[in-house]
Amino acid sequence: MRIIPAIDVIDGKCVRLSKGDYSTQKTYNQHPLEVAKAYEAHGIEHLHLVDLDGAKSKHIVNHKVLETIATKTNLKIDFGGGLKTDEDLKIAFESGAQQVTGGSIAVKQPEVFGRWISTYGAEKIILGADVKGEYIATDGWLETSDQSLFDFLAHYQAKGIQYTICTDISKDGMLQGPSFDLYQKILSETQVKLIASGGISQFDELPRLAEMGCEGTIIGKAIYENRISLKELEQFILSNN
């Protein structure tokens, strides 16, 4: 299972929100590159970079942060937040993203998202399935759609999508543990490569997610709040290689 730390960016700084609520913003570091380099120094190879300004303003904003991390580390970056147009996608890939995550656009403009999959290939495009209950949320989680998670996943699996990041919004940033039951259901009912996201609070949850069959897990606040140390992650990665 890949370990994928998250860096969420507002105004070029590393922040975390609780349940996607912008009013709960807490800044952890002024310099995302410092954080990314610390991850890399502990054997981490992957990074989930989220442009929260982009998610709110509906177009890519923090591509310079992406470019800086991509050029100054060897991390494989998946980038999301505010990718709405072909131009946004082009900027993300040209700025160094290895993969991009599309959530809101997959709900609201399925023809555009479908074209991205066929143009760039399913290896490059991750489906962002952010859920409230079992319904898909959009626009930086400010809106909930009428699409059920399982219909949504089935639709895009038929289009060739391989990877999905599923975040249970009620868990995100709360440090109360991930949605094991939801992930078990996804893994038993679909063939997607599931990247678990939201609520990771302690190291013991990681082997459990790996045993369930998650392809990756995104860890955010638990690292910043020292609930999980980079040393523990390093050991986990070494023991699984």
The one catalytic residue among 8, 51, 53, 78? 8
Q: What is the DSSP letter of 202?
A: S
Residue 130 is among the residues annotated as catalytic for this protein: yes
36 in helix, strand or coil? Answer: helix
Distance separating alpha carbons of residues 181 and 33, to the nearest angstrom? 35
The one catalytic residue among 88, 130, 139, 168? 130
DSSP string, 146-189: EEEHHHHHHHHHHTT--EEEEEETTTTTS-S---HHHHHHHHHH
Tokens found for residue 63:
């591509």
Residue 51 is among the residues annotated as catalytic for this protein: no
Task: Catalogue the E-assigned strands of the chain.
Answer: 2-10, 13-18, 21-29, 46-51, 76-80, 99-102, 125-132, 135-138, 143-148, 163-168, 193-197, 216-219
Nearest alpha carbon to residue 189 among 222, 164, 223: 164
CB-based contact 176:199 (threshold 8 Å)? yes
Active site residues: 8, 130
